[in-house]
Amino acid sequence: MFKNFLTVLSILVLISCGQNTTSTVESEDKALADAKAEFIIEGMVCQAGCAAFIDEELEKLDGIVKSEVDFESKLAVVDYDNSLVSEYAIIDLINTLKDSLYKVSSVEVEILQAVEQVKIDTH
């Protein structure tokens, strides 16, 4: 019985290893964090529910590279791609979560990297 089990297991391993398993990765433009904003958020009542929820929702937004929300300081620090999302869109998202339970009371924005525009002479 044990010998039959090993035989079947060996066959399964060989079959699975021999299959050509190519995965298709969608080409997705990577967001470049060229701006950082700090939002003071009113209305949070706990770290696990409110702050974690806001953090998860922020990271779903296109253009958000990284977000950290802290309940105790009422602070959300968000690194984002300014060409894909604005601080106004982030404020709007936070202010509309859970039937407008949360309110952004203050925002500070820092541009981390200026986007260089170069004129190319084609003639």
CATH of the domain at 105: 3.30.70.100
Residue 56 lies in a domain: yes
Categorize the per-residue pLDDT at 27 as very low, low, confident or very high, splitting at 50, 70 and 90: very low
Separation CA 79–CA 123 (nearest Å): 39
Cα separation values, 6 from 1, 2, 10, 13, 63, Å: 9, 6, 6, 10, 50
Residue 123 lies in a domain: no
DSSP, res 31: P
Categorize the per-residue pLDDT at 26 as very low, low, confident or very high, splitting at 50, 70 and 90: very low
What's the pTM value of the predicted model, to 2 decimals? Answer: 0.68
Residue 100 lies in a domain: yes
The residue range of the domain holding 40 is 35-111
pLDDT in tens, 35-82: 999 999 999 999 999 999 999 999 999 999 999 999 999 999 999 999
